[in-house]
Amino acid sequence: MAKANRLKPAPGTETREDAASAARALAEPGDWLSCALEHHDHIRAAFETARRAPPGGARVAAMKGLAVVLNGHSLAEEVVLYPALVAIDAARHAQTAYAEQTEAKIQMAALERLSPQSPDWAAQLEQIQAAVLAHMEEEESAFFPEIKESYPEQDRLTARYREEFERYTRTGIVATNGA
């Protein structure tokens, strides 16, 4: 099995839901925050699809679907949102977020190398899911509200976030709530 995940374990569901609700209260229809939160919902759903997929080809297909939304979302954050954290004097948060996302990408690469028939595959997916959910909660409870409340160019963030996500995914999954 791949080495143990160095990211934090997932916090409780109640805390996660509270963080998401608080972040949604700050979002405006079609803004970068509503897009990012919708992507988080897609990521949660993609993890569940992968987790429930039977061993074999279905797991591979589910993992690839997860990778598209997870990588597109993380790249948009890394190129647009994390530099915004630095701009509002929250560089430490940006460094943490970059490190967590890099670790998630390393762990996803390890998952790709495992047989989709193996019990190790499911265990590796669970480790990644726990870490990513913890990361998303941290964003929803702290990083995103800081950007929303302190970064002066919200329209620019929205345009750039959409552009970077779509550049990677080419899916058009941006936000359905008013976009």
Residue 45 lies in a domain: yes
- Residues 6 or more apart from 154 whose CB is under 8 A from it? 31, 32, 148
Considering the domain boundaries, does residue 13 fall inside one? Answer: no
Q: Identify whether 33 is part of a domain.
A: yes
For residue 8, the model assigns a pLDDT of 42
96 lies in some domain: yes
Q: What is the CATH number of the domain that holds 88?
A: 1.20.120.520
| Residue 17 located in a structural domain | no
The pLDDT of residue 23? 87
Across all residues in the chain, what is the average pLDDT? 89
Number of domains observed in the structure of the chain: 1
Domain of residue 63: give its range: 29-169
38-42, 64-68, 127-131, 174-178: the lowest-pLDDT one = 174-178
Buried b / exposed e across 42-56, counting CB within 10 Å, b at 16+? Answer: bbbebbebbeebeee
List C-alpha distances in Å: 135 to 55, 116, 130, 153, 154.
27, 25, 9, 24, 22
Compute the distance between CA of residue 152 and CA of residue 5 in angstroms, rounded to an integer: 36
Within a domain: 5: no
* Domain assignment present for 160: yes
What tens digit of pLDDT does each residue of 16-41 get?
A: 778 788 889 999 999 999 999 999 99
How large a percentage of the chain has pLDDT more than 70? 87
How far apart, in whole angstroms, are the C-alpha atoms of residue 103 and residue 3? 11
Q: Do residues 68 and 171 make contact, with C-beta atoms less than 8 angstroms apart?
A: yes
pLDDT for position 3: 37
Q: Given its phi and psi angles, is residue 177 left (phi above 0), alpha (psi -120 to 50 degrees) or beta?
A: beta
Residue 127 pLDDT > 90, yes or no?
Answer: yes
- Report yes or no on 78 lying in a domain: yes
